[in-house]
Structure 1
Amino acid sequence: MPQSAAPGKVMKRRKAEIIEAAAECFMERGYHATTVDDVAARLGATKGRVYHHYATKTDLFFDVHREGMQRLFNAQEEAKAVEGNARDRLIAMLHAHAVAMLEHHTYETVVAQGVQVHRFDQVTPDQRQTMQELISSRDEFETLFKTVLSDAIAEGSVPPVDVSVAVKVMLGGLQWSIFWYRPKKGETPGQRSELASRMVAPLVAGFGTA
């Protein structure tokens, strides 16, 4: 059993390495300027290694985007279960999102590039389907925040606001960190958490005290 499982683990690890290298290239150069040769060079391998797993650069970009979104969803698991009222959960979720944006800066920069870079590109039917799935994933992520903000308004811990607009503004404000934040050598998780708190504070200040 272990022997038969080993090849699968190796394959998974190699694919993860390709995704990591691609994320770095897409972040630095953007989707259109990045080539499969760039990704292969970052890996120190031939482009045949990349093509072994991905038929096109677009398919690779989609997997980087998918991984970035999964990391954002993963970051919300504990925050959604925070004890307290809905306002407390909202603040915890915003903080978790801010931390994830900082910790996964490379991937989230690619997510921010978004599937819109392909809206006017020639894509296959399968790729178009994947585009729709990624768009749905982003909508689902927004819904997490819309739900808890609606709950907070219903319980009276947050004043009435346009939920859809408010969530887009809050998430957009945190997402903007991809333009001004750069990971620092030796930066600790505690320092990132403290920065995340400062990012979230002005977003919830308008809600007043609970």
Structure 2
Amino acid sequence: MQRRTLSIQEILQTAAECFMEQGFHATTLDDVARRMGATKGRIYHYYASKVDLFFDIHRHGMALLFGAVEPAMQTPGNSMAVLEAMLMAHAKALLEHHAYESVVVQGVQLHRFGALTPAQRQVLDELIASRDRFELLFKQQMAVAKADGSLADLDISIAVKTVLGGLQWSLIWYRPEADTNAAARRRLAAKMVRTLVSGLHAR
């Protein structure tokens, strides 16, 4: 019987689920292969190590976030409407790509506390720089809203970290296996954003 060819997308998705459930240190390439019904060698065809696979998931997770939020920056309306659309896009992406974004958060922890080789540290530094660029999108939009008086007189850096952190906490409590309905995810995202944005408006 001819073996089915594994796609990189399949490997990334399956590995992301393993890392989300077991964490970086506990997950092995054997775990990923077993879940796919494949051999570890077939994964090695694409990835030389678990770390390389983890980094690629992190990279793809960030691409998904940028792909969601950047179009939302073109939303018509005032500065707060644009900010709210960006936050809504971010929240939906977190819910829809739960496993990938969980790996992104693990990457931050690995950057802070993990024992890595210099080469691995350099790659992770680049991935963290991508997170900083993502955060900058929200800082710039909040600066616009603050300048036109629609945002409260807040420390923008703290406000962005607090709001994005509030959304990212859903990676801890959200259970995607219990909710496969896109409309339900949109409603949940809207409730999350509304709760956070209410504290940002100028009074």
How does the TM-score come out when normalised to structure 1?
A: 0.88
What is the root-mean-square deviation of aligned Cα atoms in Å?
Answer: 1.9
- Partner in structure 1 of residue 82 of structure 2: 89
Alignment of structure 1 residues 176-187 onto 2, 5 Å: 176-184=169-177, 187=180
Unmatched runs of 5 consecutive residues or more in structure 2? none
Q: Say which of 132, 139, 143 aligns to 1:139.
A: 132
- Partner in structure 1 of residue 96 of structure 2: 103
Alignment of structure 1 residues 12-31 onto 2, 5 Å: 14-31=7-24
How does the TM-score come out when normalised to structure 2?
A: 0.91
* AA of the residue aligned to 1:66: R
Structure 1 pair 135–189 and aligned structure 2 pair: CA distance change class (3 A): same
Return the offset for 1:123: 3.2
SS at 2:151 equivalent? coil
- Partner in structure 2 of residue 167 of structure 1: 160
Larger helix share, 1 or 2: 1
Structure 1 residue 198 corresponds to structure 2 residue 191: yes
* AA of the residue aligned to 1:112: V
- Partner in structure 2 of residue 53 of structure 1: 46
Return the offset for 1:67: 0.8
Return the offset for 1:15: 1.6
Q: Say which of 24, 30, 37 aligns to 1:44.
A: 37
Whether the 8 Å CA contact 2:107–2:124 is kept in 1: the answer is: no
SS at 1:206 equivalent? coil
SS at 1:78 equivalent? helix
Return the offset for 1:78: 2.3
Task: Return the alpha-carbon distance in structure 1 between the equivalents of residues 193 and 40 of structure 2.
Answer: 42
Unmatched runs of 5 consecutive residues or more in structure 1? 1-9
Structure 1 pair 209–158 and aligned structure 2 pair: CA distance change class (3 A): closer
SS at 2:153 equivalent? coil
* CA shift digits 1:43-86 (9 cap, x unpaired): 11110111111111111100011111111111113211001111
Greater alpha carbon shift after TM alignment, 70-79 vs 184-193: 184-193
Structure 1 pair 118–33 and aligned structure 2 pair: CA distance change class (3 A): farther
- Partner in structure 2 of residue 127 of structure 1: 120
